[in-house]
Amino acid sequence: MAVANYVFALFSVLLGSAAWLYSASYPSDASMFPRLFGGLLVGLGCVLAIDTFLRRSIVDQEPDPRVRLQGSLANVWLPIGLTVVYLALLESVGFVLLTPVFFALILWTQRVRPWMTGIGISVATTLALFIVFEIALDVPLPEGPLQWVLTF
Amino acid sequence: MDVWMDAIGYILQPGSLLTVIFGVVAGMVIGALPGMTSTMGVAIFIPFTFGMDPRSGLLLLAAIYCSSVFGGSIAAILVNTPGTPAGAATVLDGFELTKQGKSGLAIGMAAIASFVGGIVSALVLSTVAPVLARWALRFGPPEYFALSVFGMSVVSALVAKYPIKGFIAGVFGLLVATVGMDPVYGWPRFTFDTAGLLAGFALIPVLIGLFAASQAFDLMSRKDKGTMVETEVAGQIIPSWSELKRLSGNIVRSAFIGTGVGIIPGVGGDPAAFIAYNEAVRWSKHPEKFGTGILDGVAAPEASNNGVTGGSLVPLLTLGIPGNAVSAVFLGGLLIHGLRPGPALFTQSGDIVRALFAGLFLINILMLVVGLSSARLAPKLLRIPTSVLAPLILILSIVGSYAINKAVFDVGVMLAFGVIGYLFKVLRIPPAPAVLAIILEPIMEHGWRQSMIMLHGNWVDVLARPIVAVFLLLALITAVTPFLRRRREDVEKSEGAAV
């Protein structure tokens, strides 16, 4: 955990410094709080690094986050990547057409087998969400090329 | 007395009863679903009240409001995901109780505490509302600033185990909240010429990301893909009489905290729950047990966040100032029926106001009955393997975030904070401080800058105000406490090792 703490401390210092420098161009009133928080981030990052060094024997007893991150490429980061693609295509393809495909792929990354089970769950979920949000709650969802069909 | 009997007679009519029961059940379902909020629930049902009697319409909206706040605790307890922002504090001990096989007790405690909170706030609303409203008017910008600083000190209670990382998360949240237009002069900050950032990050997508989406990613990362929650609510639902007696002080105190915070315009249920939680920690003989799964940690935030429901209606009904986002939407429900909030509301539409006051008692009673009787049904909705539940939470988070402003940008915000929340979990950084900071920063900054304008830049005059001084002193004590405690623990550990 010590390494993770040092990395997080570095991130805190960099983020705080960036906020401090970037907000320098704002009028003094507008920059006051961002600079205060940026300075606090830099300070706390340094404190974390020093504290980790001084309490290293205690910190090293905590679980290593690298263990949790191992093997998460397919389970976590692939779904995140798929979600980014989903968001990029949502408005053009539409909720009804895109969501079953997206959801089925996500279920596949989570090892839901056989294929038909995943497809069945994804279609049913899409339908349920459409009924609840679009019809029952009147929240318009992206329609895409089905615009004329869904608004008929 | 006759006018009150009329009000009670109205709410006990079959039509009114059915309306309230429907509102209670709908509110619980809305509150329990991650991505759905009390604000959204009330707003969605406003059009349905067009053709209704104003009293019934307001009863429906009030029922959805009150029960959705309680409903948020169900998801918080069973799946570690607050259904509503006000349920964020319940996650801390609620989910831990579920892991101990005491989910029934947690839900039962939440129902009882919510009932007490709702009843207390209804009592306050109906009997002392005018007096409380006059007192709350004394809060000027300096007092709002001090209250938000005190609220931030609650961070220390949330990060007892990792105080420095928790404070970094809190300051990160403060910085995130500065994105958007400067609250006083409208100067764009950290917008990078992006139109979507001019209004800052929408709070709900951030909350959904940090709590729901991050939980989905965390579940996805686990090798065990079994069911995430118990297949049935374990153990008894209703706490023992001795347990209730022990917690009665905590519950009543928290109910009054929530009612008091709810009365202050602009401060909502989210800080109230955390403030009540912090107070429960401070008053407890075993503060180290908070966060490990104790009923005290469920009772305090639930009594408080339901205490906000009635409290937030005080400034709305007496002054026309919404107490929080939900009461702001509630204002729309009043205006639709031609009702103008303010002192005149009590004289010109007294029957409607009294029906609402009486209805709040009925709503909370029904919420308790429905909550306790249906507690064991709740997990049936969640008896889904993790491999399916996690993607379900993700897609619900996506659609829920989209529904706020019908904007894909908000979903992107949700996803980004979902990744941040997941990394927080991996690095053992509590996300709650960041959430609290995002909620409180606008109040803090607005309060301070208005104070400086008001007092011509003399910050000493700000600190000299009695209420400000008290809040800031409490904040200092609360913020320093976990470091002192940790220092004591380190010394005890080293002494134990030496022996």
pLDDT in tens, B87-129: 778 888 998 898 888 888 999 999 999 999 999 999 998 887 6
Q: Supply the pLDDT for residue B226.
A: 53
- Which one-letter DSSP state was computed for residue B21? H
**B181 vs B449: CA distance, rounded Å:** 14
Top-confidence residue, A100 or B52: A100
Residues of B in contact with A102 (CB under 8 A): 395
Q: Supply the pLDDT for residue A88.
A: 94
| β-pairing verdict for B180-181 and B188-189 | antiparallel
Cβ–Cβ < 8 Å for B70, B364: no
**B499 vs B497: CA distance, rounded Å:** 5
CA-based max dimension of chain B:
77
Q: Inter-chain contact B182–A37, Cβ cutoff 8 Å?
A: no
pLDDT band at A150 (very low <50, low <70, confident <90, very high): low
Q: Inter-chain contact A44–B390, Cβ cutoff 8 Å?
A: no
Residues of A in contact with B396 (CB under 8 A): 129
pLDDT band at B224 (very low <50, low <70, confident <90, very high): low
Cβ–Cβ < 8 Å for B75, B259: no
Residue A34 has its nearest CB partner, among B167, B175, B399, at B175
Top-confidence residue, B217 or A56: B217
Q: Inter-chain contact A138–B427, Cβ cutoff 8 Å?
A: no
Q: Inter-chain contact A80–B419, Cβ cutoff 8 Å?
A: yes
Nearest to B294 by CA among B92, B116, B74, B86: B92
Give the mean pLDDT of B169-189.
88
**B280 vs B398: CA distance, rounded Å:** 35
> Is the CB of A62 inside 8 Å of chain B's CB atoms?
yes
**B419 vs A69: CA distance, rounded Å:** 13
Supply the ipTM of this predicted assembly.
Answer: 0.91
Q: Supply the pLDDT for residue B289.
A: 87
Cis peptide, bond prior to residue A114, ω within 30 of zero: yes
> Is the CB of A99 inside 8 Å of chain B's CB atoms?
yes
* B296 has pLDDT over 90: yes
Residues of B in contact with A44 (CB under 8 A): 164, 167-168, 171
Q: Supply the pLDDT for residue A46.
A: 94
Give the mean pLDDT of B164-185.
88
Burial of residue B314, with CB atoms counted within 10 A of its CB: 0-12 exposed, 13-18 middle, 19 or more buried: buried
Q: Inter-chain contact B189–A80, Cβ cutoff 8 Å?
A: no
* B130 has pLDDT over 80: no
| Closest chain B C-alpha to A107 CA, distance in angstroms | 7
Cβ–Cβ < 8 Å for A79, A133: no
Q: Inter-chain contact A68–B445, Cβ cutoff 8 Å?
A: no
* B133 has pLDDT over 50: no
* A64 has pLDDT over 70: no
Question: What are the backbone dihedrals phi and psi of residue B479, each rounded to the nearest 5 degrees, phi first?
Answer: -70, -35
Q: Inter-chain contact A5–B165, Cβ cutoff 8 Å?
A: yes
Nearest to B330 by CA among B22, B20, B63: B63
Cβ–Cβ < 8 Å for A65, B427: yes
Burial of residue B488, with CB atoms counted within 10 A of its CB: 0-12 exposed, 13-18 middle, 19 or more buried: exposed
Number of CB pairs, chain A paired with chain B, less than 8 A apart: 147
> Is the CB of A114 inside 8 Å of chain B's CB atoms?
no
* B323 has pLDDT over 70: no
> Is the CB of A26 inside 8 Å of chain B's CB atoms?
yes
Q: Supply the pLDDT for residue A15.
A: 93
Cβ–Cβ < 8 Å for B468, B142: yes
Q: Inter-chain contact A107–B165, Cβ cutoff 8 Å?
A: no
Q: Inter-chain contact A33–B178, Cβ cutoff 8 Å?
A: yes
Q: Inter-chain contact B178–A48, Cβ cutoff 8 Å?
A: no
> Is the CB of A129 inside 8 Å of chain B's CB atoms?
yes
> Is the CB of A61 inside 8 Å of chain B's CB atoms?
no
**B68 vs B46: CA distance, rounded Å:** 15
- Scanning every residue of chain A, which has its alpha carbon at the shortest distance from the alpha carbon of B42? A137
**Token pair for B312:** 């937030």
Residue A41 has its nearest CB partner, among B165, B168, B388, at B168
Residues of B in contact with A16 (CB under 8 A): 175
Q: Which residues pair with B227 in a beta bridge?
A: B385
Q: Supply the pLDDT for residue B120.
A: 95
